[in-house]
Structure 1
Amino acid sequence: MLATRAVGTDRDAFRWREEGARMQRAHGVGRLSFVRRGADTVIRDCYQEAGLRIRMPRPGPAMPVEAVIINTAGGLTGGDRFSLEIVAGEGTRAVVTGQAAEKVYRSSGGVGSFRTHIVLGEAASLDWLPQEAILFDGSALDRRLDIEMAASAHLLAVESVVFGRLARGESVESAFLFERWRIRRGGRLVYAEGLRFDGPVAARLAARAAGAGAIAAASVVVVSPGAEDLIDATRDRLAGLDATGVEAGASAFDGLVSIRLLSADPFALRRGLVQLLEMLRGPLPRVWSC
């Protein structure tokens, strides 16, 4: 089954040059794999190149192995290229998160990209918990998440985006954003979604049928045997968010729970997202409290 999100497009309104201005561009490559050693999950391989760094804080008692992804470039802009590959071997338990919100700055030409590819073996459990991407006016980002997982594996994944920093009075009048998820379970495509903004972002988000004035959005997906059993607790948690200015909804099918959150207040959305994730998995990595 496929879960798809509405796509907003206008190809002629806002075109980005694939050949950017001749300026230095950032790039980064990371590869990380986990294996089981006795009762413990350990790092088998950790490769980092250029602007992408991987750090492993010491986990607390009974906590999964934790990896923190760091972009030493301080953000992305047009023409930057980053890629990350994560492999969780059979029976492993791990969480991968980001050091801070990812800032996507105005592009002088070209589109910045971040590709993430995740593989989960039999009975593996992985939480993919990057913090939000903050888009600036005139930014351009292509972000893709591809996941291949065994039928017995457990996945919790989140991606969120903020269009401008409300506290600083910023707005995103025009930008390019293409976001794509693909999740395959047991070799079968079970989840697919795509989101595209190209041009007048603020005007589209203001539309009732799109964002109704929202400037922050998040998607959360749980894929696991029996994941549908989480739907009642999830909806109970989301029901209390309406009073905080966060609109949210959830659906469940075929071992999968899909959750959406929208808000005109990025801080309210983050606070609601934290509450939801803590309900789904327990305490979040310490970097989320910074």
Structure 2
Amino acid sequence: MIKALPSGESGWQAELRLEFTQRSNKTVLAKRHQRGPLAIQRPFYPEAGVCHAYVLHPPGGVVGGDALHLHFKVEPHAHALLTTPGASKFYRSAGLQAAQHQQFHVNDACLEWLPQETIFFPNAQAVLTSTIHLQGSAQYIGWEVYCLGRPVIGETFQPGKVVFKTALYRDAKPLLLDRLVVNGERDLFSAAGLRGQPVFATLLATPVSPELLETVQPFCEGVALGTAGVTLLNGVLIVRYLGNSTAQAHRLFRTIWQAIRPAVNGHVATAPRIWNT
């Protein structure tokens, strides 16, 4: 059972609020509020008009009792691409819940949320929620790559519990409501669960046409270290990966991102500099 944080006992309570606006054909970080150990590096402009920024969590890991809140708002005609410089880690817990909550609001603008992977150590107790609100003609590309345990050293996730929730809306209408609970051997190894694979990942992109779905399908065939599939639901491209390699998941998603970005938001893919380090 995941326990709520007792009164008077607290971990890191961190919050990062960012607002991006368009000024003179350039997206700028117009407002920033941070509390606790969440921060953002100075924005970069490797491509015309698009603001690239890196979200930082200096402690390097999340433990029971910690709560991280990310709020991103992108105003009309602005275009922000955010990523992280390294993997996020949720450490083992004696029972207290750790949490990460993401709230994105994109108003006739474009947001790309392309973080590195999130690793969950054995005995982690966590809940992760992502809520994306799109308005008007807003465009969104985002992914999450999760790794249960550390398969490179033979470490499995058991025991532990993580709850994942994703909700995507356009003009207050739900386009995608997704929920997954991983709690114990049955969820990890059953055919209806993760089939014994420690890495699972999801890429979302919208708006997307049926023609673009056909473009992506070949990328999901014959994945060497896992399986992948793609579908189109309510104008949202949904790509899922299940396997044993975060590197494979990232290669797949970056390849798809490069292929679909011009059609989704009109920009040729320009990778964040941090991906080359």
TM-score of the pair, normalised by structure 1:
0.87
Q: Percent same amino acid at aligned positions? A: 23
Q: Could you tell me which residue of structure 1 aligns to residue 19 of structure 2?
A: 33
Q: Could you tell me which residue of structure 2 aligns to residue 8 of structure 1?
A: none
Whichever residue aligns with residue 35 of structure 2, its letter is E
- Give how far 1:270 is off: 2.8
Q: Could you tell me which residue of structure 1 aligns to residue 226 of structure 2?
A: 246
Gaps of 5+ in 1: 1-14
Match of 2:138 among 149, 153, 169: 153
Deviations 1:116-173, CA, capped at 9 Å, x for gaps: 1111112x01101121110000001111111111131100011121011222221111
Match of 1:106 among 74, 82, 92: 92
Q: Could you tell me which residue of structure 2 aligns to residue 62 of structure 1?
A: 48
Report SS of the residue matched to 1:42. Answer: strand
Q: Could you tell me which residue of structure 2 aligns to residue 75 of structure 1?
A: 61
Once residues 287 and 157 of structure 1 are traced to their aligned partners in structure 2, the CA distance between those partners, rounded to angstroms, is 17
**Conserved 8 A contact 1:213-1:264:** no
Once residues 249 and 30 of structure 2 are traced to their aligned partners in structure 1, the CA distance between those partners, rounded to angstroms, is 36
**Conserved 8 A contact 2:26-2:49:** no
Match of 2:116 among 113, 121, 131: 131
Match of 1:280 among 253, 260, 266: 260
Whichever residue aligns with residue 141 of structure 1, its letter is A
- Give how far 1:209 is off: 2.9
Q: What is the RMSD of the two structures over their aligned residues, measured on CA atoms?
A: 1.9
1:230 paired to 2:219: no
**Conserved 8 A contact 2:145-2:246:** no
Aligned residues: 270
Whichever residue aligns with residue 232 of structure 1, its letter is E
Match of 2:198 among 194, 197, 215: 215
- Give how far 1:240 is off: 4.2
- Give how far 1:280 is off: 2.8
Q: Could you tell me which residue of structure 1 aligns to residue 159 of structure 2?
A: 174
The more displaced of 259-268 and 230-239 is: 259-268
Q: Which structure has the higher relative contact order (CA within 8 Å, separation 6+)?
A: 1
**Conserved 8 A contact 1:119-1:148:** yes
Q: Could you tell me which residue of structure 2 aligns to residue 260 of structure 1?
A: 240
The more displaced of 155-164 and 53-62 is: 53-62
Report SS of the residue matched to 2:28. Answer: strand
Deviations 1:164-186, CA, capped at 9 Å, x for gaps: 12222211111111111111101
Gaps of 5+ in 2: 262-268
Match of 2:5 among 15, 19, 28: 19
1:186 paired to 2:166: no
Deviations 1:214-265, CA, capped at 9 Å, x for gaps: 11000111122x4433201110211242xx1221111113321111111023
Change (3 A) 1:69 1:95: same
Report SS of the residue matched to 2:184. Answer: strand
Report SS of the residue matched to 1:174. Answer: coil
Once residues 211 and 135 of structure 2 are traced to their aligned partners in structure 1, the CA distance between those partners, rounded to angstroms, is 20
**Conserved 8 A contact 2:27-2:49:** no
Q: Could you tell me which residue of structure 2 aligns to residue 87 of structure 1?
A: 73
